[in-house]
Amino acid sequence: MDFLRSVANLFFFTLALQLGSCLPVHGQPNQTGQPNQTSQPNQTGQPNQTSQPNQTFLWSVETPTNTVYLLGSIHMLSAEDYPLAPPIQAAFEDAETVVFEVDFSAARSQEAAAIIYQRALPDSDRERMQTALTPETYSLARQAATEVGLPLANFNNLEPWFFTINLTVLKLLQLGFSGEYGVDAFLYQQAVNMGKDILALETIAEQMGFFDELPISTQSTLVEQTLTELDSLETSFNEIRTAWKLGDVAAMENYVLGNLAAYPDVEAALFTERNQNWLTQITPMLAQADDYLVVVGAGHLVGETGLVQQLQANGYVVEQR
């Protein structure tokens, strides 16, 4: 079961911003927030393709008063993933207000780092990673941590989920992906530059709390699955990137949600409950005069509990663009 592929794009949002500059990546964004225009090789070594997909991971809801756009994001990407497809850029330019999962300025602060660390502190000895993992799993964790330059001892007295996130983010950084190239980060910088109104759907403490509240047995399983699938992360992550670029809803649902059936507590915490909370905030936007662009992880827009189907169930016409 490719469990890591299911979670690879879910919980890196805040930590990707915290760790985004830990390792060098090629083609850092310039001062305008635009990706540099120098050509970058893709993962196959072939030149970038200039053709645009027929559909993107963007939806719109038109009401008598405004338009609300829903954009599925990949939180870590690379220079070769830019420029964004024209419909995405057009939606951004049309929106007076841009809505993100969390406040980016807060996510990059020392206070955010302290909040994340506080959430990772165990409530009891049994929740410490070194205690929670079996000796075999801990040995594999040491090997994987060494390969990415992560001091395992720093995580011994923290909850296992925190190690999983750090390990996976650093692996993606080594593969050339960066939080600075995430769709959220790119559009946030553009929104700041253009003076658009910016809102957040949840706080950093809330976002990290979803992981902190996972049962320790689930966190340990998360570590085990991550270690098992880490070597295939590049392939898995590129499959998610491809589905996102093509606007392939079925593939994205399969990659992100298909493998979570065996982990209902993870799916509920990371998707179902958050989607319901966000829906209560997005619905009032549909009655406003201004246009909105809501940017959330791509996995939150697919599936029966995804925002698109939830809005459709409430009577709205939601069109993929």
User: pLDDT tens digit string along 225-254?
Assistant: 999 999 999 999 999 999 999 999 999 999
User: Would you say residue 220 has pLDDT above 90?
Assistant: yes
Task: Count the alpha carbons within 13 Å of 167 in the hemisphere toward its beta carbon.
Answer: 30
Predicted confidence (pLDDT) per residue in 132-178, tens digit: 999 999 999 999 999 999 999 999 999 999 999 999 989 999 999 99
Mean pLDDT for 182-188 is 94
Mean pLDDT for 62-84 is 96
User: Would you say residue 43 has pLDDT above 80?
Assistant: no
The average confidence (pLDDT) of the chain is: 85
User: Would you say residue 22 has pLDDT above 80?
Assistant: no
203 backbone dihedrals φ, ψ, rounded to 5°: -90, 165
- In 3D space, the residue among 299, 306, 122, 105 whose CA is nearest the CA of residue 211 turns out to be 122
Amino acid of residue 214: L
Question: What are the extents of the domains in the chain?
Answer: 3-20+53-320
Burial state string for 271-282 with b = 16 or more CB within 10 A and e = fewer than 16: beebbeebbeeb
Any idea which of 26-35, 53-62, 136-145, 221-230 has the lowest mean pLDDT? Answer: 26-35
Using alpha carbons, list the distances in angstroms from residue 311 to 29, 210, 253. Answer: 35, 23, 17
More confident residue, 259 or 170: 170
Confidence tier at 41 by pLDDT (50, 70, 90): very low
**Percentage of the chain exceeding pLDDT 90:** 67
User: Would you say residue 264 has pLDDT above 80?
Assistant: yes
Q: What is the pLDDT of residue 36?
A: 45
Distance from C-alpha of 149 to C-alpha of 144, rounded to nearest angstrom: 9
- Partnered with residue 99 across adjacent β-strands are 199, 294
- Partnered with residue 41 across adjacent β-strands are none
H helix runs in the chain, sequence order = 3-7, 13-19, 86-94, 104-107, 110-120, 129-132, 135-148, 160-174, 183-194, 204-212, 216-229, 233-246, 249-256, 264-267, 273-285, 307-313
Distance from C-alpha of 108 to C-alpha of 15, rounded to nearest angstrom: 9
User: Would you say residue 288 has pLDDT above 50?
Assistant: yes
Confidence tier at 281 by pLDDT (50, 70, 90): very high
Distance from C-alpha of 261 to C-alpha of 144, rounded to nearest angstrom: 27
DSSP letters, 47-98, are PPP----S--SEEEEE-SS-EEEEEEE-SSB-GGG-SPPHHHHHHHHH-SEE
Distance from C-alpha of 156 to C-alpha of 209, rounded to nearest angstrom: 20
Alpha-carbon Rg of the chain, whole angstroms? 19
